[in-house]
Structure 1
């Protein structure tokens, strides 16, 4: 009982989804004495769903987050028919015995009628009834706390991540390449597998949005923002993070990709918006400014560079994307002195 209470206190003390994942699998692993415990994301459409582990722990080892889990191919859900049936029937659990005798228990994390993730426990012997009862209670607390975290991190209109969450994730991205990550057992984060790959920050602004509000009203203006948010989510990759920064401005953090790929991704989004037919409003376009994220450069400076590129995109015709370093190389913008908190123009 003391161990269970300790784990519950630990779980509810976190304000970060990843740390909460680590906490819950550590608790379940200890209480179930399992071979392995994982949090597995369930992604994709009907008939094409895949499982991607986002955090795992093995017997005798420390819990860890899976690197770039969203960028991996994943395991087809069809490999586990018991789990597929469980999800299709909206059941609370499923169990399977593998050819080697390993038993797998799945506990989907239901949010309404959708399960976006699942707790997976592997063991070499049957699960005791009292263990199942205790683990089920932990999953319930985990699910409720995930809901609370999600509510505090998301914009109420668009459902995208909010400004506060952006500030936290940008700071982590700026410093993560050189600082030990407590979630990885003190090991430095490894988010740049190739030297030419970088992290990127893109600022997106809806062109002439004030005109939309003035001409059609704020109700249609809100609908435009919601549809832009949907296009952002469908145009960018699963491992990228999309935020509503405020008003008609959005920010995207692109993870581990090259300049060429970044251009393609951003242009794909810009083109998708340009070609989309917005109800009543008709045609809407966006302008984008983006910059590479450099370790230990302050968030203010990084965001300021992306804003400069965005300003140039808007002042030179709108409905276009501009890369800060290209503008500097071409002599359109000049680098200026800066300190840790502000940039001087």
Structure 2
């Protein structure tokens, strides 16, 4: 039987993580440490049966792939069988030995499976240990998701924003990379080469009057509908936050200002045309600034907020870029930039 100190160390490692991907890496590391495995991996499959993420452990390193991945038919049919039969565990006899498949997590978007490949069938002792590890993983990932999610809209909350934006200029490629879980930043944004990133602040026009006319419960319903529109209009790689009240923030990837404008204009128009209950029209005002490595993110938020104020002041239901305000001479950059602060 494993020493209790070993198990406690793994529990401590789990609970030190503040990011779901890091937590998955910690799980793979723990399973490999405590059970003699040929290989272990975690596969996330969306509702269309497409592999969204593929994490695996080899040579004492965790590696992640999130490009287009094909899995063999046996594994795919196993996932489908577990889904149709509501099974949480399945063991397969393979040419190399055995494969143990455990359902880790599922929601309306995807299902996440742990696959453990073994030379021999898993012992009762190891199965007991694995069940305990997975119970801790399941409980903690639920707590982690709750702590980082806005309760009303289901979007990421303000608390997760700082750690996300602080890693926006980490340019390591994500496809097929080794991950040092001790150094990798939580909520890391993986930057695509030659792409620009934009900080977008979205504010519902005249939201106070909606609350005054219909009450706060109806106002909450408007926020929920808007969050759904945000999810459907932006990509998974475009991180989406509710900052509080009627204010939302997007970290948007786009090659240039014109592409960014096209994406946001489509969103603005979709909001305007959406049939909100009891209201003829709901509109949003938007402020945007390009994220720059040399600019503090607090300063970038201020720039985007200035652009949002310009959208409001100019008639609402429109998009303003801070860069355009600079070129028009109606705004100026802060004297304090990211690389100009002296500490003494």
TM-score bracket for this pair, using the shorter chain length: 0.7 to 0.9
Equivalent in the alignment of 1:127? 122
Q: Verify: 1:29 aligned to 2:32, yes or no.
A: yes
Equivalent in the alignment of 1:336? 334
Equivalent in the alignment of 2:286? 288
Equivalent in the alignment of 2:57? 57
Residues 247-301 of structure 1: per-residue CA shift (max 9 Å, x gap): 1000112247554443333223222211110011231011111222222521211
Q: Verify: 1:321 aligned to 2:319, yes or no.
A: yes
CA contact 2:45–2:53 (8 Å) conserved in 1: no
Q: CA deviation at 1:102?
A: 6.5
Q: 1:106 to 1:340 in 2, by over 3 A?
A: same
Q: 1:125 to 1:254 in 2, by over 3 A?
A: farther
Q: 1:21 to 1:210 in 2, by over 3 A?
A: same
Match of 2:81 among 74, 80, 85: 85
SS at 2:332's partner residue? coil
Equivalent in the alignment of 2:238? 240
Q: 1:18 to 1:277 in 2, by over 3 A?
A: same
- Give the whole-Å Cα distance in 2 for the aligned partners of 1:73 and 1:38: 16
TM-score norm. by structure 1 comes to 0.83
- Give the whole-Å Cα distance in 2 for the aligned partners of 1:80 and 1:182: 26
- Give the whole-Å Cα distance in 1 for the aligned partners of 2:38 and 2:90: 17
Q: CA deviation at 1:93?
A: 1.3
Q: Verify: 1:104 aligned to 2:103, yes or no.
A: no
Q: CA deviation at 1:184?
A: 5.4
CA contact 2:299–2:334 (8 Å) conserved in 1: no
Residues 24-50 of structure 1: per-residue CA shift (max 9 Å, x gap): 110012223323322322323xxx232
- Give the whole-Å Cα distance in 2 for the aligned partners of 1:246 and 1:113: 25
CA contact 2:106–2:112 (8 Å) conserved in 1: no
Equivalent in the alignment of 1:166? 161
TM-score norm. by structure 2 comes to 0.84
- Give the whole-Å Cα distance in 2 for the aligned partners of 1:156 and 1:131: 37
- Give the whole-Å Cα distance in 1 for the aligned partners of 2:148 and 2:308: 25
Match of 1:11 among 5, 9, 14: 14
Residues 106-151 of structure 1: per-residue CA shift (max 9 Å, x gap): 2112468986322222345443333232212211110100111111
- Give the whole-Å Cα distance in 2 for the aligned partners of 1:96 and 1:192: 38
Q: 1:74 to 1:235 in 2, by over 3 A?
A: farther
CA contact 1:22–1:183 (8 Å) conserved in 2: no
SS at 1:317's partner residue? coil
- Give the whole-Å Cα distance in 1 for the aligned partners of 2:212 and 2:78: 54
Q: CA deviation at 1:324?
A: 2.1
Count the aligned residue pairs: 328
SS at 1:63's partner residue? strand
CA contact 2:287–2:321 (8 Å) conserved in 1: yes
For residues 181-192 of structure 1, what are the structure 2 equivalents within 5 Å? 183=180, 191-192=190-191
Unaligned runs of 5+ in 2: 173-177, 340-344
CA contact 1:37–1:120 (8 Å) conserved in 2: yes
- Give the whole-Å Cα distance in 1 for the aligned partners of 2:328 and 2:98: 61
Q: CA deviation at 1:190?
A: 9.0
Residues 146-184 of structure 1: per-residue CA shift (max 9 Å, x gap): 11111111112112111111122122325x349xx9745
Q: CA deviation at 1:236?
A: 0.8
CA contact 1:50–1:77 (8 Å) conserved in 2: no
Q: CA deviation at 1:303?
A: 0.8
Match of 1:138 among 133, 138, 148: 133
Q: 1:88 to 1:323 in 2, by over 3 A?
A: farther
Unaligned runs of 5+ in 1: none
- Give the whole-Å Cα distance in 2 for the aligned partners of 1:154 and 1:102: 41
